Amino acid sequence: RDTQSGRRMLVGTMRGACVGAVLFLALMSASSIALPVREPTSDKPWFCHDLDCPQFEVLETNSSKGVKYELRKYPAARWVYTMVQFDTEDDFKKAQGTAFMRLFQYISGANEAKAKIAMTAPVVDTIVPGQGPLCKNNLTLSFFVPFDFQRIGPPKPTDPEVFLTEWTEMQVYVSSFSTLPPGPSGKTLAEEAQKLADALPTGSFEASPFLSAQYDSPFRVFRRHDEIWLKKLPAAGNVKVEFLHEALCPYCILQVSTAMPLLYPP
């Protein structure tokens, strides 16, 4: 089975899990190593509003099959994240709430400095389908670290299930869309991800997982902004897609056999 099939099935892993876009508070995180993160500028995208958000460079813009998208390059930056496992759609909703509260408590003072940390955007959400016989799926919820802490490093979490990390430089294909409050549903995310996958050149992106980025509070009514991110592969044609047995693992349909570095290493 080829990559074309992989693109058609890209969101299959997420439909059963009802991939919801995560709530929108954000925060900080890091280690104590200085990172080459640029200073915030006054020309940040409008959808960041008054929040710190990761800077990026637009490398190209394209339109295909009615989908407008761009290729962005993000520099290395500090993020904070947590992971929760789930099995079913109901479990996913519960996992989402659990993950959010962990990070919300962190920015509210559950850290070694007892510091209140500013909210940021976006909230980035991804699901890595389980591939073993127990078929546990992993939800990772990540918040960007405010610029004040990008170099000096934020305080360490007191919750052992909240982690600070550094994302290396990456390139992602991005499509944008807008939804009504409180934000995109799992079905909407799946549809938007499929549209972007179908619009991209074959073999140009990682088939699984996809990331969703949300920039707005559930209470914002107008000018809402949501995104789908698909990570760019270094070269075309190097992805082999295999399908697991749906009856054994209903949420674990897609398996990419190329070595794929974790976006959220512990």
What confidence tens digit (pLDDT) does each residue in 183-207 have? 777 668 778 989 999 999 999 999 7
pTM (2 d.p.): 0.73
**Res 134: pLDDT:** 58
Q: What are phi and psi of 80, to 5 degrees?
A: -125, 145
Radius of gyration of the chain measured on its C-alpha atoms: 18
For 99-138, how does the pLDDT look when each residue is reduced to its tens digit (9 = 90+)?
989 999 999 999 999 999 999 999 998 877 666 555 677 8
**Residues of the chain under the 50 pLDDT cut:** 1-38, 41, 236-266
Residue 17, sorted as left (phi over 0), alpha (psi -120 to 50) or beta, turns out to be alpha
Query: Strand pairing partners for 45?
Result: none
Q: What are phi and psi of 74, to 5 degrees?
A: -105, 130
Q: What is the DSSP string of 222-239?
A: SS--EEEEEEBPSSTT--
CB-CB neighbours of 21 under 10 Å: 26
